[in-house]
Amino acid sequence: LAKTTQPISMDSYEGQEVNITCSHNNIATNDYITWYQQFPSQGPRFIIQGYKTKVTNEVASLFIPADRKSSTLSLPRVSLSDTAVYYCRALSGGSYIPTFGRGTSLIVHP
Amino acid sequence: DSGVTQTPKHLITATGQRVTLRCSPRSGDLSVYWYQQSLDQGLQFLIQYYNGEERAKGNILERFSAQQFPDLHSELNLSSLELGDSALYFCASSVAGAGVSEQFFGPGTRLTVL
C-alpha cells in the first residue's frame, strides 16, 4: 500500500505563504495527487489536485516533482479562516486504494 | 454543501450492538467510499462501491459490511460494536470508479460506543 507522510502541525501568521509537503511512495503511476482541507466536525473538502509539475487555482498551488515521490501544497497569504487540517491523498499503486496522510494541522495566528 | 448526505448525524450505542449508517451520493455519482476517522488514526479507507459492485477494500473489519443499492445509496453496517469503534464515519462519492475524479465528502456520522 502507498504510504503518505506529512508534518503533524504548522503555525503561521496572517498574510504569510504556507507550504505543506507530503511524501508518498508506492503510489499509482497514472493517478492524480489530491489535497483536502478539513474543518472540525466537517467532511474533508477538495482543494487542488495535480499529476506533475505545477498546478494553480484560485486558492492554492500544488508542486509535484518529476519523480512524484512528494508534493507541496502552497497557500498564499493565509488568513485566520485557513486554520484547518490539510490532507494529501494518493492512490496505492496496483490496488488503487485511496490513502490519506495523517493530516497537517495548520494554525494561523493574527 | 457537498451534495452528499449521511444519516444519522450522531449515534450513541452500547458495546455488542449493531448499527447501520446511511449515505446518499451526489446526483450522478456512481462511486461511494466509506472512511473511518479517529483521533489517533486519521482518515482510514474502509471500502468502495461503484455502481453497485464492490471496487476496492481497505482496512475494513470482518464485523463491518457495506452495500450499494440500485438507487446508488449505500449503507455501512457495524456489528458487535466495541469501544474502539467510536469514530467519525465519512461517506464520499465520485463520478468515476477509480482515480482522477474528485471525491465529495458528506458531513459524517459520529458514532459513540459506550
Is 60 exceeded by the pLDDT of residue B100?
no
CA distance A86 to chain B (A): 11
**pLDDT, tens only, B58-96:** 989 999 999 999 999 999 999 999 999 999 999 999 987
Question: A1: closest CA among B58, B36, B47?
Answer: B58
The pLDDT score that the predictor gives to residue B34 is: 96
* Mean pLDDT score across all residues of chain B: 92
Q: Which residues contact B10 (CB under 8 A, 6 or more apart)?
A: B109, B110, B112
Inter-chain contact B4–A95, Cβ cutoff 8 Å?
A: no
The pLDDT score that the predictor gives to residue B85 is: 95
Grid coordinates of A8: 503533524
**pLDDT, tens only, A34-78:** 999 999 889 999 999 998 889 999 999 999 998 888 999 999 999
Q: With contacts defined as CB-CB under 8 Å, which chain B residues touch A31?
A: 98-100
Is 60 exceeded by the pLDDT of residue A31?
yes
The pLDDT score that the predictor gives to residue A15 is: 96
